[in-house]
Amino acid sequence: MVKETGEVPPKSHNLVYIQELAKAEVTDAQRILMSVLMKYQLEGRYPDYKPETPSFDIINAYLIRTKELLTCLRQKL
């Protein structure tokens, strides 16, 4: 985002919002993944928030897709 706007990114955990500010093009599936991932980081900020823990297979699928998303975003920067 700094590269695109020249400004320090806002203090936000909203991945879709940051992606939009950075003007990083992503697929609809990648945008949905970012929305899903945000749900699981909220517990660190809001300890009373306890999302249902997905199965190991779903967690593993999220991990694989997240690594693919990171690779894609790094190639665009």
Residue-wise pLDDT for 19-40, tens only, equals 888 888 999 999 999 999 988 8
- Burial class from Cβ neighbours inside 10 Å (0-12, 13-18, 19+) for residue 21 reads middle
pLDDT attached to residue 4 = 66
Indicate if the pLDDT at residue 6 is higher than 70.
yes
Its pTM stands at 0.77
SS3 content of the chain, % helix, strand, coil (to 5): 65, 0, 35
pLDDT the model gives residue 26 = 93
Overall average pLDDT of the 47-74 stretch: 91
Q: Which residues contact 41 (CB under 8 A, 6 or more apart)?
A: 13
d(C-alpha 10, C-alpha 16), whole Å:
13
Closest-CA residue to 33 (of 75, 68, 74, 77) = 68
